Amino acid sequence: MNESYYGCSTCASADKPLEGFIAKLPMETSHHRVESQETKCGFGLQGVCCRLCANGPCRITPESPRGICGATADVMVTRNFLRTVASGAGCYLHVVENTALNLKNTALGKGKLKGLDTLERLCKTFGVSGKDNHEKALHVADAVLADLYKPEYVRMDLVEKMAYPPRFKVWKELGILPGGAKSEVFHGVVKCSTNLNSDPVMCS
Ligand code: SF4
């Protein structure tokens, strides 16, 4: 084992046991790389760098307020933000989808179910039932998968059942209740692609 210590000077006031643990690790970690990545790209930080097509990268400055395609700073920032959120949401959807598929396959194969308290809680929240735990698990998994696979123009059912009620009310008032989750991610990415939409309000 490599016994050389990298030390840690990026979190001197943070959790002391963690600081000591990181300082003694015989390897470089993300904590150490914070220092070598301290100099940030100003365009990237402001979201005004676009690499959506082969004409780029385009950067917004006072002297060049539009990319080659005509995209403004507002368009770039909105597109970059939406794409970041879409890819992050996609990762969580991947986890949810795999979990639901595993639960469904376990239920169909009459496998061992863990977390029966959670299963009961989800049945209650979703408003589903079953003659035994395997059927309950199947119905829970199917409810999640059915919601995930809806088109973006069909509202998800489980959002209202799971969201914090005052927040759901605000989303409803703002008209931003989501349609099928995977489809929303797809449309989010497609709608902000170059040549498809240049309205920062519409593309969000
Ligand atoms: S989409 Fe427009 S702003 Fe973005 S890289 Fe292409 S030409 Fe430049």
Residue 10 is predicted with a pLDDT of 57
pLDDT in tens, 28-71: 888 878 888 889 999 999 999 999 999 989 999 999 999 999 99
pLDDT, tens digit (0-9, with 9 covering 90-100), for 132-187: 999 999 999 999 999 999 999 999 999 999 999 999 999 999 999 999 999 999 99
pLDDT at 21 over 60: yes
Question: Looking at residue 9, what is its pLDDT?
Answer: 63
- For ligand 1, the distance from its centroid to the CA atom of residue 197, given in whole angstroms, is 12
192 CB under 6 A from ligand 1?
no
State in Å: Cα 47 to ligand 1 middle: 13
Kindly give the distance from the C-alpha atom of residue 39 to the centroid of ligand 1, in angstroms, as a whole number.
Answer: 25
**pTM for the full model?**
0.81
φ/ψ region of 115 (left if φ > 0, alpha if ψ in -120 to 50, else beta) reads left
**How far, in Å, are 9, 42, 49 from residue 67 at the CA level?**
40, 17, 9
pLDDT given at position 182: 97
Q: Is 69 in the pocket of ligand 1 (CB under 6 A)?
A: yes
Partners of 179 in beta bridges:
155
* Ligand 1 contact, 65 CB (< 6 A): no
pLDDT at position 1, please? 41
Phi, psi of 62 (to 5 degrees): -60, -30
Residue 15 — very low, low, confident or very high, per pLDDT cuts 50/70/90? confident
Decide: 68 in ligand 1 pocket, CB within 6 A: yes
User: Does the beta carbon of 71 lie inside 6 Å of ligand 1?
Assistant: yes
Q: Return the pLDDT at 12.
A: 63
Separation of CA 190 and ligand 1 centre (Å): 15
